[in-house]
Structure 1
Amino acid sequence: MTETQRKIGFVVCLVTIVLALLDLQIVSAATVPIVRDLDPAHGIDKIPWLVSAYALASAAMLPLYGKLCDVHGPKRVFTAAIATFLLGSALCGAARSMDQLIAARALQGLGGGGLMSITMVVIAHLKGPGEKDSGRGTNTGGLIAGGAMAIGPWIGGLLADHANWRWIFYVNLPVGVAVLASAAFALKLPEHQVRRPLDYLGAGFAAAFSSALLLMTDWGGKKYGWTSPEIMGLALATAVTLALFLWRQLRAPDPVLPLSLFRVRELRLGFAVQAILGGAMMCAIYYVLIYLQVARGIASSSAGLFLVPLAVGLGAAGLLTGPLGARGWSARTFTLSGTATTALAFALLATTTGPDTSLWLIRAELLLAGLGFGQLVGQLILLVQDSAPRHQLGVATTSIRFFQTLGNALGTAVFGTVLARFYAGHGPGGDITALAHLRGAAHAAGVQAFVEATRVVFWGGAGLMAVAAVLAWRLPQPPELPREPSRRSSVGAVGTA
């Protein structure tokens, strides 16, 4: 590729990831208008599937996407994923019932699973032989990640209130078509002439495992009790499909997720840290928002604005990683610093959170957490891409996103169970849902018990990040020569945000 084509390709990748990030964020702000328009009587019960359909389809495709990149080349898979996402977006906008919208969201998720994961593979191929990067791409990637996280819900609410919720999906179409046209011109990526059989059976087992796990963690303790037949059945399905997936990977001639990757020290440690990071990010975002709404009485729309400091921290980390990388900071150094910073932020949240804590202090602690997360997400991807065999670059890159998805699901479930059980053992009313109906001294006692339960959750997040710091310490020391940041790291902060 020429230098101009590489620059256009890089912009294409940034825009693609912005599409993915915004689509994850803006739909949540329009659920009420969607239900009011499509099914005011019963649509509220189907809202969880509106989110779950996209997440399940996206997670199920991740292992296969990586293998498709390694077998067919990243450009074909990249354009196919975008085309699928755009088709799903068009069908979402044209839906006339909640069932049609949920089915279209699942199709959109099949393509959405590749918008961030395959894009990172494409970026890995954009760096020319011997090319140096000044860190400009890293700065841009971090700022875009933070900006998309901050403005996503706001854009969704704006479109839903002043236009029509269907434009949340239609707005993807002109941008996506421009991305496809630009990709066709600019991306000159290697294509593999020797075709290898794909492990579709292994991909099916991986999809079944991830779907069962996500449903179990999403429904457990909410829609069904943890000991209910439905959740126990999903737990059994998760265990069985995981065993079948591992068995298939050991026997398949060309497995969809080669277990040989785990023999590389950097890869297995990077995957582990990424999974922990996924759980910790859910802890920081989800349970801070719950604390603000339950303990402080802040409306959900206003509580969402507390994510702005977190987003600013991510953007600031993007600005810093480029210059620091140019001065010799390695992926190991950033991973150590990021895990330690995030652990400190959680410890501060656990120590200071109370019924009357200054909201500015909460914002400052979220800013610190964003600085920690921003150091981790891009550098972990860079670490994996630098350590993976070149012919397995696709599957290694998409695997890190896959492990983050599993970490998100497990973190949400574990922390939610800890919160609910601690409150049930120490608070009035039996469970957290009863807190809204308590009055006077009983309500004050309930808020205090909820705050204490939230502190336990934050201490759990600090403990997780401490484990991640230990894993980061075990990463091998980098070579003596200082490394220049590559374009691959430039969208790392975006790809896993």
Structure 2
Amino acid sequence: MSSPRPAPARHDAAPAAAPPEAAPEGAAMTHREILRALSGLLLGMFAAILSSTIVTNALPHIIADLGGGQSAYTWVITATLLAMTASMPLWGKLADLFNKKLLIQLALIIYITGSVIAGLSQNSATLIGVRVVQGIGVGGLAALAQIIMAAMTTPRERGRYGGYFGATFAAATVSGPLIGGVITDTPGLGWRWCFYIGVPIAAVALVVLQRTLKLPVVRRKVRIDWLGALLLSGAVSLLLIWITLAGDSYAWASWQTAVMTGGSVVLGLLFVLAESRASDPIMPLRLFRDRTITLSSLASLFVGIAMFSGTVFFSQYFQLARGESATMSGVMTIPMILGLSVSSTVSGRMISRTGQWKNWLVAGGLLISSGMLLLGTIRFDTAYWQVAVFMTLLGLGIGMMMQNLVLASQNQVQPSDLGAASSVVNFFRSFGGALGVAALGAVLANRVSQYTREGLAQLGVDAGDGAVGGGGIPDLSQLPDPLRAVLETAYGHGVGDVFLFGAPAAVLAFVITLFIKEVALRGSQQAPQASGTASS
């Protein structure tokens, strides 16, 4: 149904006397105007993604310097993902209620503060705590960037502009490990600059957004669902803490497991109850009546596991299994990132041209599944060209699915629900990533410990002193050749097992996409008449 407004005004020229809804989000903007506004969003996204990828190749050095072990290694990543996951729905809901421009600037300020303090950390516990602050800022940037882009464009156009987000993701992902490796290997700098380097980029994004981003401010009477946010954060945190510590600090079958998993389930049920009664829920349950949103969220959960396992554990594989430097570790992951960049950009443009998106999701799920299964076969001495091919397949699949699952969900809702719908899908992807890093990190620690014990036993060395596996990240350059060979073999086999354990999640994502019903992308902001339900 067409809008009743007689003369739509431009975003930056709305009359002062006009009512709040007079300049709707999504009013026509030229391509040039959209690109100018997107420039600040993309800079902010670049800084946010850089904060995660830049530390991957530096982590072995960071954890060794701060005296942590495999648990600390995974939690430096997991802490950010946890905070990002828990905060995304709240940022998304706030975006539906408040000034989006001020919100994304606030997210940038939080990110900058966390980054500066992270670079000053003196122990792994402090670093993990500050990474939570960083994660809250990153959650805002990740959620709000896509929400603001959706507010400026129609669903049909979003495939095209979503390709820019995919390319930015790829650029930050490929440059992050390279920059982090160079910084870590440069004596005059050191790993602390991995956290500082994103600060000026985020500061520039603040200035650019102030000058270029002009959206209408829709003021509404609101009640923030703090109870829902607290319950969701608690449920997710308990589950991740349990997965990380189980099998190490306590047995899988123990009273701690019962308390944590039971507590997570109870908090989850209370969250559902709270959302069903909240006047402005952070995650409106009515969205899940739509089949596309429900299935896209589930697919995103499993895509997140595959995506983050690729970016997190490759650094350990190349540095600890193949003895490469931090810089070379970044160079050797380029095939995956190129695959992601190409498929994200190409699929986005083709989707905008045709309005059809399901085939890309199905193809992406098939490629991710193939890539993960093939990566499950790698060992410390697997030929690099084979690893590169497997990584490329994984990257191609992620690029086809990551942005387009959000796009499919945005296509189902009215403009007033864009923030919530976008954040729901992003939440499940981030939750899958956090879950995957925590669970697969525990798998890696266990498998490395097992393979190391077996290798030492073949050398006639007693491994009962606990010096391997669950201890600190080893410095291979300081080890004698026989022990170094044992550890390289252990990490090579262990990382391969990680991908094998993660492969079923990729297969599930592929299967789920088969059941998503395609709805051609709209050429206007208004959702179909029956967008809120699975059936009309």
CA distance in 2, matches of 1:357, 1:154: 22
Match of residue 58 from structure 1: 84
Task: Classify 1:159/1:449 alpha carbon distance in 2 versus 1 (closer, same or farther; 3 Å).
Answer: closer
Pairing partner for 1:211 from 229, 232, 237 = 237
Identify the match of residue 508 of structure 2 among 440, 455, 467. 467
Cα separation, 1, equivalents of 2:366 and 2:54: 31
Partner Cα distance (1:153, 1:383) in 2? 31
d(CA) in 2 for partners of 1:173, 1:435: 45
The residue matched to 2:372 in structure 1 has which SS?
A: helix
| 2:181 equivalent to 1:157 | yes
Check conservation: 2:301, 2:429, Cα contact below 8 A: yes
Contact 1:72 1:195 in 2 (8 A): no
Partner of 1:493: none
Distance, in Å, in 2 between the alignment partners of 1:288 and 1:94 is 26
Pair 1:397 & 2:422 matched: yes
For residues 280-337 of structure 1, the C-alpha deviation after alignment (integer angstroms, 9 at most, x for no partner) is 224445566666677x544473555442111110011133214432552622121111
Partner of 1:194, secondary structure, is: coil
Give the structure 2 partner of residue 321 of structure 1: 347
Paired residue type of 1:408: G
User: What is the aligned partner in structure 1 of residue 167 from structure 2?
Assistant: 143
- The one of 49, 52, 58 equivalent to 1:24 is 52
What is the TM-score with the length of structure 1 in the denominator?
Answer: 0.81
Closer/same/farther in 2, CA of residues 65 and 228 from structure 1, 3 Å limit: same
Q: Could you tell me how far 1:152 is from its partner in structure 2?
A: 1.0
Measure, in 1, the Cα distance between the counterparts of 2:429 and 2:505: 14
Within 5 A, what are the aligned runs for 1:302-381?
A: 302-328=328-354, 330-350=356-376, 353=378, 357-381=382-406
Shift of 1:183: 1.3
Q: Which among 120, 123, 130 is matched to residue 146 of structure 2? A: 120
2-side partners of 1:85 and 1:253: how far apart?
A: 30
Mapping of 1:268-287 within 5 angstroms? 268-285=294-311
- Residue identity in the other structure for 1:393: L
Matches within 5 A, 1:45-194: 50-94=76-120, 101-127=127-153, 135=160, 137-160=161-184, 161=186, 162-194=188-220
Change (3 A) 1:25 1:456: closer
Relative to 1, partners in 2 of residues 1:393 and 1:459: Cα closer, same or farther, differing over 3 Å?
A: same
Count of aligned pairs: 472
- 1:43 offset after TM fit, Å? 9.9
Gaps of 5+ in 2: 1-10, 12-28, 462-481, 526-536
* 8 A contact 2:368–2:397 mirrored in 1: yes
Task: Decide whether the 8 Å contact of 1:5 with 1:187 is kept in 2.
Answer: no
**Judging changes above 3 Å, is the alpha-carbon distance between structure 1 residues 284 and 110 closer, same or farther for their aligned structure 2 residues?**
closer
In 2, Cα distance between the equivalents of 1:64 and 1:126? 21
How much does 1:117 deviate? 1.3
1:220-235 paired onto structure 2 within 5 Å: 220-235=246-261
Backbone CA RMSD of aligned residues: 3.8
Relative distance call for 1:203 and 1:303 in structure 2 (3 A) is same
Verify the 8 A CA contact 1:21 1:149 in the aligned structure 2.
yes
**AA of the residue aligned to 1:13:** L
Task: Identify if the C-alpha distance between structure 1 residues 48 and 369 changes in structure 2 by more than 3 Å, giving closer, same or farther.
Answer: closer
User: Contact 1:220 / 1:226 at 8 angstroms: preserved in 2?
Assistant: yes
Distance 1:102 1:293 in 2: 22
- Do the aligned residues in 1 keep the contact of 2:156 with 2:522 (CA within 8 Å)? no
Amino acid at match of 2:337: A
CA offsets, 1:166-210, max 9 Å, x none?
433333333222212221222122322222111111111011112
Identity, % of aligned pairs? Answer: 27
Inter-partner Cα distance in structure 2 for 1:318 and 1:41: 39
Alpha-carbon contact 1:280-1:465 (below 8 Å) kept: yes
SS at match of 2:41: helix
**Normalization by structure 2: what TM-score?**
0.76
Amino acid at match of 1:405: S
CA distance in 2, matches of 1:358, 1:199: 52
Q: Which moved more, 1:463-472 or 1:381-390?
A: 463-472
Q: Deviations over 1:137-173 (max 9, x none)?
A: 4554333322221221221233343324443333333
2:59 and 2:437 mapped to 1: Cα distance? 21
* Equivalent-residue separation in structure 1 for 2:501 and 2:122 (angstroms): 44
State whether structure 2 residue 427 is matched by structure 1 residue 386.
no
- Tell me the distance in 1 between the aligned counterparts of 2:505 and 2:53: 26
Contact residue 89 and residue 282 of structure 2 kept, 8 A: yes
Higher helix share: 1
Residue in structure 2 matched with residue 434 of structure 1 by the alignment: 453
Match of 1:24, as an amino acid?
S
Which shifted more, 169-178 or 110-119? 169-178
CA 1:297–1:229 in structure 2 vs 1: closer, same or farther (change >3 Å)? farther
Deviation at 1:34, TM superposition (A): 5.5
